Amino acid sequence: MTDKPRSRTERILDWVKSMLLRTRISVVITLVIALGLLAVVSRIAAAHNSAAQLWTVMQKTWLLVLGLTIPYLAARALVWQELLRELKIRVPVRHMAISFAGGEITKMLPAGVYVQNYLLARLQHFGRFSTIRSSMATTAMLGLETMLALPIALIFGVPRQPWIFWSLIGVVCIWVVLLFLAWMLVHRWGPDFDERLPAWLRRTRLLADEFLASGGELISPKTLRSLAPVAIYMFCYVVELYAIIRAVGIHNITFTDTMGIYALIVLVVVLVPIPTEIGLTEAAGLGALLAYGVGRSTAAIVMLSLRILATGTTVVVAALVMLLLRQELVAQSVDDVERAATT
C-alpha cells in the first residue's frame, strides 16, 4: 500500500513549521551562546577578593553612571524619533517614549531591541508595512553606530593586534556585499518569479523589499545629522567604561584607548551575526583589555561592572518611564478588548 501523495499546500505548511522550529532553535542557541560567554567572563572574575573589588567599583561609579544614563537614553530616543520621521512615521511623543523604554528594557534578549517596534505597532495600530519601516529605523541606529565606531576602532585600535584592523575591514565589506545581494534578490530578481511563488512567500518578499527600500530612503544627508546624538550616547558609554577602568586601578589605558576598546565592542555586537549584546560585549571587552596587559580577573571585573551598572541603571530609568506612562498601555488594552468585542 502506497502513501497518498501530499498536496502542495501540505508541503508548504510543513516547510513553514520547520522554519518556525528553526527560529525557536536559533533563539535557544543564541541564549546559550550569550549566557555561556557571560558565564566564562564571570568565572574569570571570580578570583580572590573579586567580590570586594566589584563592590568598590560600583560604589565609586554608580552615581556617575546614573547621571549619564539620562542623556544616554534621551539621545538614543531622539535618534529613533528622527529616523522614524525620515521614514514618514509620525507618532505621539508619549507612544514613542513608552515603546522606546520597552525596547531598552529588553534589548539584552535576542533581538530584544525590536520590542519597541512591536509596542509602537500595538499603540498606533500599524499595519505590516508600517511596522517593517519602524523596524528599519531601529536597525539604522546600528548602522549609524557602525559608521562612528569603525574609524575610531581603526585609528585607536587594540595594540599589537593588526589582525583586528583587517578583520574589521573584511567583515564590513562582507556585510555590504550581502546587503547588496539581498536587495538584488528581493527587488530586482524577485519580481520575475512572483507568479511562481506561493502567496505567503510573495508577501515575505514584499516585506523584505519594503524593509530594504526603507533603508534606501535613509541614505540621505538628513540621516547624517543623527550622527551627532549617536556620538553623544556612545560618548556616555565611553566615559562610564573609562571611570570603571580607573576605579579598578588601571592607569596604563588612556581615554582614547578606551574609545578604541568601546568602538571594538560596538562593532563586535553589531557585525557578529548573533542577535544579542549580552556575552558578546563582555567577551570582546575582556579580550581588548587583556591586549593592554590588564590581568584576567581585573579585566573581567571591569566588563561585569559595566554590565551591572550600565544595564541596571538603563532598566531602572526605562522602567520608570513605562510606569509614568502606564495609562497608555492600559488604554491600549481596553481599546483592544473593545475592538475584539465589535468584531
Q: What is the pLDDT of residues 85-138, one digit of tens each?
A: 999 999 999 999 999 999 999 888 777 888 999 999 988 888 888 999 999 999
**Cα separation values, 173 from 5, 164, 191, 268, 313, Å:** 46, 14, 27, 14, 35
pLDDT greater at residue 313 or residue 108: 313
Please state which of the ranges 49-63, 106-120, 140-154, 325-339 shows the lowest mean pLDDT.
Answer: 325-339
Does the model's pTM come out above 0.75?
A: yes
What are the structural domain ranges in the chain?
A: 49-331
**Would the pLDDT of 17 be above 50?**
no
- The dihedrals phi and psi of 140, each to the nearest 5 degrees, come to -60, -30
**Would the pLDDT of 80 be above 50?**
yes
Q: Compute the average pLDDT of residues 309-318.
A: 94
Q: What is the pLDDT of residues 234-291, one digit of tens each?
A: 999 999 999 999 999 999 999 999 999 999 999 999 998 877 888 889 999 999 999 9
Please write down the HEC assignment for all residues of the chain: CCCCCCCHHHHHHHHHHHHHHHHHHHHHHHHHHHHHHHHHHHHHHCCCCHHHHHHHHHHHHHHHHHHHHHHHHHHHHHHHHHHHHHCCCCCCHHHHHHHHHHHHHHCCCCCHHHHHHHHHHHHHCCCHHHHHHHHHHHHHHHHHHHHHHHHHHHHCCCCCCHHHHHHHHHHHHHHHHHHHHHHHHHHHHHHHHHHHCCHHHHHHHHHHHHHHHHHHHCCCHHHHCCHHHHHHHHHHHHHHHHHHHHHCCCCCCCHHHHHHHHHHHHHHHHHCCCCCCCCHHHHHHHHHHHHCCCCHHHHHHHHHHHHHHHHHHHHHHHHHHHHHCHHHHHHHHHHHHHHHHHC
CA gap 178, 184 in Å, rounded: 10
- Contact predicate 153/129, CB 8 Å: no
CA dihedral 214, 219, 225, 227 (to 10 degrees): 90
Instruction: Please tell me the predicted confidence (pLDDT) of residue 13.
Output: 45
**Would the pLDDT of 4 be above 60?**
no
CA gap 110, 91 in Å, rounded: 26
**Would the pLDDT of 9 be above 80?**
no
**Would the pLDDT of 309 be above 80?**
yes
Q: What is the mean pLDDT of the chain?
A: 84
Instruction: Please tell me the predicted confidence (pLDDT) of residue 19.
Output: 44
